[in-house]
A and B are shown apart, each in its own frame.
Chain A
Amino acid sequence: MAFSATNAAFEGFKVVRRHPLALIFWALFYAGIMIAGLALVGGSLIGLMSAVEALETSGATSPEANMPVLAGYMTVFAIIVPVSLIASAMIYAAVSRAVLRPTESAFGYLRLGMDEVRVLVVSLALFVVFMVLGSVVVGIIGVVAGITTAADMPALWLLVVLLVCAAIALFAWLGVRLSLAIPITMAERRIAIFDSFAFTKGRFWPLLGMALLAFVMSMVVGLLGSLVALPVQLATGGLESLAELEGESLQVIVQTAWPAIAAWVVVNAVMSALQVAVLYAPFSAAYRDLKGGLTDAPALG
């Protein structure tokens, strides 16, 4: 199958049409994660909010006074970060599996095995690459901006602006060139971080177009989802009603506002599942079509 940016951009919708059950599994998965997250950090969040309120009331600015807030944040992040990393790896792997190995449809393609470990490793590696590069680029721009200010040479601000534009272009280019790393890792069952460069060579613009289309379509899905979510919120009072329960215990909050919380979890779970399919599936489809085009192998799916 030849690679077509427009066709690939629609892969998320195609996956859901081929396997509607997968969407239900992914939505249930998201709902499970949200409920687990709420149960795990709900108490800590209330503690954190109380600490922030106490700090605001006291008006203290010393590092010691900030410690309870900092500790609260650390507790929340210590739980949230690993859970979201594992959940993201599972869902990205599931979407890729749905495109690349459509026959492995049990549990809506969701697993927790070596594929997910590899996806997690590749995600973390890409994160580190972008963080390091980001630090270097921001450092260079900061130095030039500092020199411009110190030397009192306003004309050099043009150079700073050009450097910022170049940095954005560099990250867009690198993002597109590395965008097939996870699909390759899934398809070839090995950690393949930089193999993406070979596949994306000479296809930067179609892949960028595909990514932008997928992004905009996920926004459209989000907007349409809001059309469903808002009447549901109106019927249940919405999460905004929680503001009236400020200072109450988690148990009281859940007992009082469970319809709003349940509606929010269900709607967001379904929307997140659909958006993740629309956003991630095109990259796997691009890899599948490019690989097929390169080797003349029959295309999957």
Chain B
Amino acid sequence: MKTFSITDAATEPFRLVGRRPLATIVWGLVMLAPSLLVIGAMIPLLSEMAASGAFSVEALVAAESDAMPFGENMASMMQFQLWSNLAQLLGLLSLVIVTAAIIRAVHAGRKGDGAFFLRIGMAELQVAVVGLAVGIGFFIVVLIVILLAVGIGFAIWQLGDPWRWLLCIALGLTVFLGLMLLWGRLSLLAPASIRYGTFAFEEGWKLGRGQTRKLFGLWLILLLIALMVGIVFMILFLVVMLTVGGGMQASNPEAIEAWITGLPQQPALLAGLVVVLLIPMAWLQGFSQTLFTAPYAHVVLRLAETDAPDERPAELH
């Protein structure tokens, strides 16, 4: 039976970002672009609203009591809502494009690509459809499993202490474990779709046959890596903020608020901050996406590599 190494799969993101540092930044920029674009568009709107007192305590209290939500700023709030909806949609689109690019990059090995593996084509549609189908399907499965667990919970609740508590905890853990095992198998569907050039629901599912526990182990390791990376970057961020903030006390919310509200009056500082922070932020964003995408693309590559000739990978379009 074909198999894969958890270590190799878990280290694939590090190999990929080491091999393609520029591509990692570009992927991050593509993912950040919608938010930046919309934030850029909203700054004048927010300044206008702030100037008219839309965020004052009185206005927020009025909005909460629903007496006159945001008063004359209602139209601005609606524009704000539209912009944030647009940001969400563009974010989803960029997620699909970057996910497909990362899978392509893993499958391409050392081969280069002028466009950093970014495309808009059939593969992106396949990833979008598979992603949505997996999301909806997983949600339905979770709903049914929770319903069943509640039903079983009612049944075992008649037992005395401590058995009912122990059984309820065991049931909860079993449900969680089952769902995570399922998630591991489902994670192969998008990379398999790009490899086979079709909606590879069946092929992707079959590839994971006999590998369910290893895929769960891989997910656990990726979770630990993500936690560690998160902690490291949090420490780095705090160090940078303390340095940039100078003598500002982190425990003084008024000083922080004054610093933030004063930013629009210092466009040069704002632009400088964006330029300085953009590249590391883009890299981190690109790396985060690579961390949870590249390992499964690697697994699909390993599990499918000795397939029959008629199951050769689709051309890397």
Taking Cβ atoms with an 8 Å cutoff, the residues of A that contact B are: 6, 9, 154-155, 157-162, 164-165, 209, 212-213, 216-217, 219-220, 223-224, 226-227, 230-231, 233-234, 237-238, 240-241, 243-244
Contact = CB atoms under 8 A, between A and B. Distances in A.
A224 B86 CA distance: 11
28 contacts: A9-B199, A154-B154, A155-B154, A155-B155, A157-B154, A157-B155, A158-B148, A158-B154, A158-B155, A160-B151, A161-B147, A161-B151, A162-B148, A164-B147, A165-B147, A165-B148, A209-B201, A213-B133, A213-B199, A216-B132, A216-B133, A226-B89, A227-B90, A230-B85, A234-B83, A240-B82, A243-B78, A244-B74
A220 B125 contact: yes
The interface residues of chain B, by DSSP majority, are classed as helix
Contact of B133 (A155, A212, A244): A212
A240 B86 CA distance: 15
B93 interface: yes
Given A241-B75, A244-B74, A161 B89 contact: no
Contacts of A220: 125, 128-129, 132
Nearest to A224: B93
A278 to B, nearest CB: 11
Given A165-B147, A220-B128, A243-B74, A230 B154 contact: no
Contacts, number: 77
Contacts of B148: 158, 161-162, 165
A155 B129 contact: no
A231 B37 CA distance: 13
A219 B147 CA distance: 26
A159 B302 CA distance: 44
Contacts of A9: 199
Given A161-B148, A240-B78, A234 B154 contact: no
Given A220-B129, A231-B86, A244-B75, 13 more contacts: A157-B151, A157-B154, A157-B155, A161-B151, A164-B147, A216-B133, A219-B132, A220-B132, A226-B85, A230-B82, A230-B86, A234-B86, A240-B82
B157 interface: yes
A117 B89 CA distance: 40
A1 B144 CA distance: 38
Interface in B92-150: 92-93, 125, 128-129, 132-133, 136, 144, 147-148, 150
B154 A223 contact: no
Nearest to A148: B154
A9 B125 CA distance: 13
A92 B83 CA distance: 35
A58 B249 CA distance: 54
A196 to B, nearest CB: 24
Contacts of B83: 234
A162 B85 contact: no
B158 A154 contact: yes
Contacts of B154: 154-155, 157-158
Nearest to B140: A168
Contacts of B147: 161, 164-165
Contacts of A223: 89, 92
A223 B88 CA distance: 10
Contacts of A162: 148, 151
B14 to A, nearest CB: 32
B278 to A, nearest CB: 24
7 residue pairs, one from A and one from B, having the closest CB atoms: A158-B151, A161-B151, A154-B154, A155-B155, A157-B154, A240-B78, A230-B86
Nearest to A159: B151
B124 to A, nearest CB: 10
Interface string B58-85: 0000000000000000110011011101
A4 B41 CA distance: 46
B22 interface: no
B93 A216 contact: no
Contacts of B169: none
A227 B78 contact: no
A220 B125 CA distance: 8
B198 interface: yes
